[in-house]
C-alpha cells in the first residue's frame, strides 16, 4: 500500500482566501459570522458566514474570467488553484484525478434571475465539476461526491483509497458550497439556524450558522512533491449510517462511533494515539449531544476536541475539507484552536473541549462529519 501525503492545502471562507488569512483570525478569536439584514438570501435577518462577492470577483479575475464561471465554481477553482500553487504536482497529468464534493453546487442557477446566465445543464454537479477540472486542463472525468454534509470527508477518504491502492498518483480534493436562498430557506424551515453566532457544545446552543466556501487538499503518493516542514499523511478513513432518521441524528451516537472505530482500524491506530479531534460541532442541540455520546463510546473522552463552526459557520459540502485544512495547520504549528462560541459545558457525555488557543504537539488527529440522511464519516491524519 502506498503512503498518501498532503502536498498542498487551501481554504476560502468569510475569513479570507488563504490558509494564513484563516490562521491569523482564528488565533485571535475573530469570527466571520455576522448578521445579514439585507433580505437578499432570506426575507428575515439571519446570522451567517458569507464570502464577499466583490472580493471573490477581484481574486478570481487574477486567474480567470469571472463571467465564465458561477460563484460556486469560482470558489472551487480559486481554492484548488491556491492549493496547487503550493504543491509540486502536475494537475494536467493523466495520473491526477479531481475529486469534487458539494451538496448543492450550482443550485442557485434555478433562481429566476439566474436562469439564463449559463447553459441549463450547468445546474448539474457533473457539469460544474467538468468546468472546474477543465480549468486546470485535467482530462480525467472528475469524481463527484454529493453526500450531504459529510461530502468533504468522504472525498478525502475516497482520494486516500484511490492513491493508497495505486489507482492513481495524485488527487485534488475540493469541497465546497455556496449559501444560496435555496439552502438558507431550507435550513430555516428546519428551525435549525441560531438566533446569534453559534455556540458549539454549549449549554445555551440554539442552532447553526450557515457558511460558504471551499477547501482543497492536494493528495499525492510522491513524497518528493511535498514541500519541507512537517509532512502530513492521510492514514485512512471510513463512513457509516445511523439508520435512524433522515434529518435527526442518532440518539445514541452509534453511527458516528462506527465510523470513528472503523477509521482508526483503517489507519491502524488506537484511541490512545489520537492527539486531537476536529469534530463536526454544528451547535444544534441534537448533533452536539450525539457527538459527545459517540466520542465517549469510542474511548476518546479525554482527547482535546474542537469545533471550528464558530469562525465560519457550517460550510456544508465544504466543511470536511475546510476544517481538515485548518486542523492540519494546527498539527504543523503544534496548536489547538479554540472552540469559538463555547462557554458552558452542555453535552451529556464527557468530551474534552478546547476552550482557548493551546500549544500541543499532535502526531495523529481525527476529523469527523455527520449529515442529513444519517450519514457519518471520519478520517485520520498523521505527521
Partner 1 sequence: MLITRSVHITKGKIVCDDKTVFEALEPLPFTEFIKSAFKSLDTAYPKFYKMDKLSKLAFVASEILLKDKEIPQKYKPETIGLIFQNANSTIETDIEHQLTIADRKNYFPGPAIFVYTLPNIMLGEICIRNKFQGENALFIFDKFKPEQLFAHVSLLFQKNKIDVCIAGWADIVGENYESFMMLIEPESMLANSKDFTTFDPSNINILFSKK
Partner 2 sequence: MEENELIDKLRKEIIQQLNLEDVKPEDIDPDSALFGEGLGLDSIDALEIIVLLEKNYGIKIEDPKQGKTIFASIRILAKYILANQKAQ
Residue 5 contacts residue 223 (beta carbons within 8 Å)? yes
Q: What is the DSSP string of 47-79?
A: EEE---HHHHHHHHHTTS-GGGS-HHHHHHHHH
> Contact region for partner 2 (CB under 8 A) — 15-23, 245-253, 296-304, 355-363?
245-253
Helices (H) and strands (E) in the chain, counts: 10, 16
Report what 248 binds from partner 1, partner 2, none; CB cut-off 5-8 Å by kind: partner 2
Q: In 3-state terms, what secondary structure has residue 5?
A: strand
Q: Which of residues 361-380 bind partner 1 (CB under 8 A)?
A: 371-375
Is 147 a binding residue for partner 1 by CB under 8 A? The answer is yes
Q: What share of the chain is helix, strand, coil (3-state, %, to 5)?
A: 35, 25, 40
Q: Which of residues 156-175 bind partner 1 (CB under 8 A)?
A: 158, 161-162, 165, 167
Nearer to partner 1 among residue 115 and residue 270 (C-beta): 115
Residue 197 contacts residue 303 (beta carbons within 8 Å)? no
> Contact region for partner 1 (CB under 8 A) — 88-96, 196-204, 246-254, 352-360?
246-254
Is 182 a binding residue for partner 1 by CB under 8 A? The answer is yes
Is 191 a binding residue for partner 2 by CB under 8 A? The answer is yes
Is 37 a binding residue for partner 1 by CB under 8 A? The answer is no
Element holding 355 (H helix, E strand): none
Nearest residue to 79 (alpha-carbon basis) of 140, 28, 155 = 155
Report what 5 binds from partner 1, partner 2, none; CB cut-off 5-8 Å by kind: none
Instruction: Please identify which residue in 64, 86, 248, 271 interacts with partner 2, judged by CB under 8 A.
Output: 248
Nearest residue to 294 (alpha-carbon basis) of 255, 263, 267 = 255
> Contact region for partner 2 (CB under 8 A) — 45-53, 219-227, 243-251, 257-265?
243-251
Q: Please provide the distance, in angstroms rounded to a whole number, between the alpha carbons at the two ends of the chain.
A: 18
Residue 204 φ then ψ, to 5°: -100, 20
Is 116 a binding residue for partner 1 by CB under 8 A? The answer is no
Instruction: Please identify which residue in 181, 206, 302, 349 interacts with partner 1, judged by CB under 8 A.
Output: 181
Is 190 a binding residue for partner 2 by CB under 8 A? The answer is yes
Instruction: Please identify which residue in 1, 113, 243, 246 interacts with partner 2, judged by CB under 8 A.
Output: 246
Taking the complex as a whole, how short is the minimal distance between the CB of residue 247 and partner 2, in angstroms?
6
Nearest residue to 205 (alpha-carbon basis) of 371, 344, 355 = 344
Give dist(CA 133, CA 283) in Å, integer: 34
- CA angle 118/121/316 to nearest 5° reads 90
> Contact region for partner 2 (CB under 8 A) — 186-194, 226-234, 269-277, 350-358?
186-194
- Residues in the site for partner 1, rule: CB under 8 A? 43, 103-104, 107, 110-112, 123-127, 129, 141, 143-148, 154, 158, 161-162, 165, 167, 181-182, 185-190, 236, 238-247, 254-255, 258, 262, 266, 371-375
Amino acid at each position: 500500500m502506498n503512503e498518501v501525503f498532503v502536498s498542498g492545502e487551501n481554504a476560502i471562507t468569510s475569513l479570507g482566501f488563504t490558509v494564513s488569512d484563516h490562521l491569523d483570525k482564528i488565533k485571535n478569536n475573530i469570527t466571520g459570522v455576522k448578521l445579514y439584514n439585507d433580505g437578499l438570501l432570506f426575507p428575515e435577518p439571519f446570522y451567517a458566514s458569507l464570502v464577499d462577492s466583490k472580493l471573490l470577483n477581484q481574486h478570481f479575475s487574477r486567474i480567470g474570467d469571472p463571467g465564465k464561471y458561477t460563484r460556486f465554481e469560482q470558489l472551487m477553482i480559486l481554492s484548488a488553484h491556491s492549493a496547487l500553487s503550493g504543491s509540486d504536482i502536475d494537475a494536467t497529468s493523466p495520473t491526477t484525478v479531481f475529486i469534487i464534493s458539494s451538496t448543492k453546487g450550482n443550485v442557485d442557477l434555478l433562481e429566476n434571475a439566474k436562469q439564463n446566465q449559463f447553459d441549463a445543464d450547468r445546474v448539474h454537479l457533473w457539469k460544474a465539476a467538468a468546468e472546474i477540472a477543465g480549468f486546470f486542463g485535467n482530462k480525467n472525468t472528475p469524481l463527484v461526491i454529493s453526500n450531504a454534509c459529510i461530502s468533504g470527508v468522504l472525498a478525502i477518504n475516497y482520494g486516500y483509497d484511490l492513491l493508497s491502492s495505486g489507482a492513481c498518483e495524485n488527487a485534488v480534493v475540493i469541497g465546497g458550497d455556496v449559501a444560496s436562498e435555496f439552502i438558507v430557506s431550507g435550513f430555516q424551515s428546519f428551525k435549525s439556524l441560531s438566533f446569534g453566532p453559534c455556540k458549539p457544545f454549549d449549554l445555551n446552543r440554539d442552532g447553526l450558522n450557515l457558511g460558504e466556501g471551499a477547501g482543497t487538499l492536494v493528495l499525492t503518493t510522491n513524497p518528493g512533491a511535498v514541500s519541507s516542514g512537517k509532512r502530513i499523511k492521510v492514514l485512512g478513513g471510513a463512513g457509516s449510517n445511523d439508520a435512524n432518521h433522515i434529518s435527526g441524528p442518532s440518539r445514541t451516537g452509534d453511527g458516528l462511533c462506527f465510523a470513528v472505530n472503523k477509521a482508526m482500524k483503517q489507519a491502524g491506530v488506537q484511541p490512545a494515539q489520537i492527539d486531537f479531534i476536529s469534530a463536526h460541532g454544528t451547535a444544534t442541540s441534537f448533533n452536539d449531544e450525539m457527538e459527545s455520546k459517540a466520542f465517549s463510546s469510542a474511548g476518546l473522552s479525554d482527547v482535546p476536541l474542537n469545533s471550528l463552526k464558530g469562525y465560519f459557520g457550517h460550510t456544508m459540502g465544504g466543511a470536511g475539507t475546510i476544517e481538515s485544512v485548518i486542523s492540519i495547520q494546527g498539527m504543523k504549528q503544534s496548536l489547538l484552536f479554540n472552540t469559538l462560541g463555547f462557554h458552558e459545558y452542555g453535552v451529556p457525555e464527557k468530551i474534552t473541549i478546547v476552550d482557548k488557543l493551546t500549544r500541543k504537539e499532535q502526531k495523529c488527529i481525527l476529523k469527523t462529519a455527520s449529515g442529513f440522511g444519517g450519514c457519518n464519516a471520519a478520517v485520520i491524519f498523521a505527521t
